[in-house]
Amino acid sequence: MPIVDVHAHYGEWFFPIYKSAKKDIEEMMNIHGIEKAILSSSKAIMYDMVEGNMDLSRILDSNKGLYGYVYVNPNYPELSKAEVEKYLGNPLFKGVGEIHPDYTGVSVDTDESFSVIREAAEYQKPFLIHTYSLENVRALVELAKKFPDNIFIAGHMGGTVWSGTGLSWKKAIDAAKEYSNIYLEICMTLFEKGKLEEAVDKAGADKIMFGSDLTLLNPAHMIGMVLGAEISRSDREKIFYLNAKRVFRL
Amino acid sequence: MHADKGLIVDANTVFGAYPKRKTDVSLKNLLRTMDLNGIEKALTVSLKGAFYSYEEGNEETLKACNADKRLIPLATVDPRRFLGDAGEIENLVRRGFKGIRLFKDFQGYPLDYSPVIEIVESMEGLGVPLLVPCNEYGCITLLSRLTVEKDYPVIVLGCTYSFLSEFIVSARRNRNLYVETRLLTSSDAIEILVEKIGASRLIFGSGIPLEYFQASYRMVESAKIREEDRDLILGGNILRIIREAG
Residue A186 in this model has a pLDDT that exceeds 50: yes
- Of the candidates B168, B213, B222, which has its C-beta nearest A31's C-beta? B222
* Contact: B161, A218; criterion CB under 8 Å: no
Does residue B4 form part of some domain?
no
Query: B186, B216, B220, B224: best mutation site toward chain A, by most A Cβ within 10 Å?
Result: B186
The 10s digit of each residue's pLDDT in B226-238 is: 999 999 999 999 9
The more confident residue out of B86 and B136 is: B136
Average pLDDT, chain B: 96
Please write the tens of the pLDDT for every residue from A221-233. Answer: 999 999 999 999 9
- How much is the pLDDT for B2? 47
- Mutation for B interface: A13, A32, A197, A221, most B CBs within 10 A: A221
Is pLDDT above 60 for A127? Answer: yes
At residue B86 the predicted structure's pLDDT band, cuts being 50, 70 and 90, is confident
Domain interval for residue A174: 3-247
Between residues 113 and 142 of chain A, which touch chain B (CB distance below 8 Å)? none
* Residue A163 binned pLDDT confidence (cut-offs 50, 70, 90): low
Highest mean pLDDT: which range of A157-166, B2-11, B212-221: B212-221
Q: Tell me the CATH number at B48.
A: 3.20.20.140
Domain membership of residue B38 (yes or no) is yes
Rg (CA), chain A: 16
Query: With 90 as the cut, is the pLDDT of residue B40 above it?
Result: yes
Percent of chain A residues topping a pLDDT of 90: 94
Q: What is the CA radius of gyration of chain B?
A: 17
**What pLDDT sits at residue A81?**
97
Structural domain total, chain B: 1
Q: What is the pLDDT of residue A167?
A: 86
User: What DSSP letter does each residue of A181-223 carry, written as one string?
Assistant: TEEEE---S--BTTHHHHHHHHT-GGGEE----BTTB-HHHHH
Instruction: Tell whether the model's pLDDT for residue A246 goes beyond 90.
Output: yes
SS3 per-residue string spanning chain B = CCCCCCCCEEEEEEECCCCCCCCCCCHHHHHHHHHHHCCCEEEEEECHHHHCCHHHHHHHHHHHHHHCCCEEECEECCCCCCCCCCCHHHHHHHCCCCCEECCHHHHCCCCCCHHHHHHHHHCCCCCCCEEEECCCCCHHHHHHHHHCCCCCCEEEECCCHHHHHHHHHHHHHCCCEEEECCCCCECCHHHHHHHHHCHHHEECCCCECCECHHHHHHHHHCCCCCHHHHHHHHHHHHHHHHHHHC
Q: Are the beta carbons of A217 and B219 separated by less than 8 Å? A: no
CA-based nearest distance A131→chain B, Å: 18
d(CA A244, CA A5): 8
* pLDDT of A132 over the 90 cut: yes
In a domain, B3, yes or no: no
Q: Do B212 and A222 touch (CB under 8 A)?
A: no
Q: In what order do the strands lie in the sheet with B9-15?
A: B9-15, B41-46, B71-73
Question: Do B58 and B115 contact (CB within 8 A), yes or no?
Answer: no
- Assess whether pLDDT exceeds 80 at residue B3: no
Q: What is the ipTM for the molecules in this complex?
A: 0.92
- Tens-place pLDDT, residues A37-59: 999 999 999 999 999 999 999 99
Output the domain CATH number for residue A49.
3.20.20.140
Amino acid at B105: D
Task: Give a yes or no: residue B115 inside a domain.
Answer: yes
Q: Which domain holds residue B69?
A: 9-245
The model's pLDDT over A192-228, given as tens digits with 9 standing for 90+, comes to 899 999 999 999 999 999 999 999 999 999 999 999 9
pTM tops 0.90: yes
* pLDDT of res. B5: 64
Residue B99 has pLDDT above 60, yes or no: yes
Q: Is the pLDDT of residue B1 over 50?
A: no
Torsion over CA: B234, B18, A183, A247 (sign): positive
User: How many folded domains does chain A comprise?
Assistant: 1
Query: What average pLDDT does chain A have?
Result: 96
Q: pLDDT tens for residues A96-116?
A: 999 999 999 999 999 999 999
Task: Inform me whether the C-beta atom of residue A1 falls under 8 Å from chain B C-beta atoms.
Answer: no
- Look at residue A12 and give its three-state secondary structure: coil
- What does the alpha-carbon distance between residue B13 and residue B197 come to, in Å, rounded to a whole number? 25
Q: Which of B105, B164, B219 has the CB atom closest to A221's CB atom? A: B219
Determine the Cα–Cα distance for residues B106 and A10; give it in Å rounded to an integer.
Answer: 35
